[in-house]
């Protein structure tokens, strides 16, 4: 699957379940293992698991391959490995503690997020 399409699918799947603070990092110059790291926050164990499930379902429905999913038992940090894209779904405390944004570079890839739903005021 095309990297841009996979990246878009992941972001859409996260937005569908109301992920917070979605960031996408280009890691092509940092590692040969994968090309993108996506980091997003969920507010509870239930939401982080639902976010991971949404990513897995959307990727599989599009014909993509999911290599592994880890961390669903505890739900504080769930990792979805899609090969070229690795998705970290974390609760805010874990995200602050591990500071993955600092590891993968402080400047995320520009991704156009979906506009707010009509009738709702953006915060």
pLDDT at 115: 58
User: For the chain, how long is the longest CA-to-CA vector?
Assistant: 44
Which one of 3.30.460.10, 3.40.50.150, 3.30.470.20, 3.30.230.80 gives the CATH number of domain 3-104?
3.30.460.10
Per domain, the residue ranges of the chain are 3-104
Question: What is the dihedral sign for C-alpha 16, 7, 52, 113?
Answer: negative
Are 45 and 91 in contact, with CB atoms under 8 Å apart? yes
User: 9-48 pLDDT, tens per residue?
Assistant: 999 999 999 999 999 998 888 888 999 999 999 999 999 9
In this prediction the pTM is 0.85
With a cut of 70, say whether residue 110 has pLDDT above it.
Answer: no
> What b-and-e string marks burial along 46-57, b requiring 16 or more CB atoms within 10 Å of the CB?
ebbbbbbbbbbe
User: Among residues of the chain, what percentage have pLDDT more than 70?
Assistant: 85
Measure Cα distances from 55 to 47, 48, 65, 97 in Å: 12, 11, 11, 24
pLDDT of residue 123: 41
The residue behind tokens 């890839």 is 109
What is the pLDDT confidence band of residue 111, given thresholds at 50, 70 and 90?
Answer: low
Phi-psi category of residue 105: left, alpha or beta, with phi > 0 → left and psi -120 to 50 → alpha = left
Residues 108, 23 contacting (CB under 8 angstroms): yes
Residue-wise pLDDT for 47-63, tens only, equals 999 999 999 999 999 99
Give the whole-angstrom CA distance, residue 39 versus residue 20: 9
- Arithmetic mean of pLDDT, 90-106: 89
Q: What share of the chain in percent tops pLDDT 90?
A: 75
């Amino acid at each position: 699957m095309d990297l841009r399409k996979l990246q878009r699918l992941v972001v859409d799947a996260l937005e569908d379940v109301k992920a917070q603070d979605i960031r996408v990092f280009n890691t092509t110059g940092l590692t040969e293992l994968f090309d993108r790291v996506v980091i997003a926050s969920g507010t509870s164990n239930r939401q982080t698991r639902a976010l991971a499930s949404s990513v897995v379902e959307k990727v599989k429905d599009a014909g993509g391959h999911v290599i592994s999913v880890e961390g669903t038992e505890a739900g504080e940090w769930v990792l979805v490995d899609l090969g070229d894209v690795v998705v970290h779904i974390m609760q805010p405390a874990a995200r602050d503690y591990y500071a993955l944004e600092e590891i993968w570079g402080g400047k995320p890839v520009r991704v156009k997020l979906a506009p707010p739903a009509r009738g709702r005021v953006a915060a």
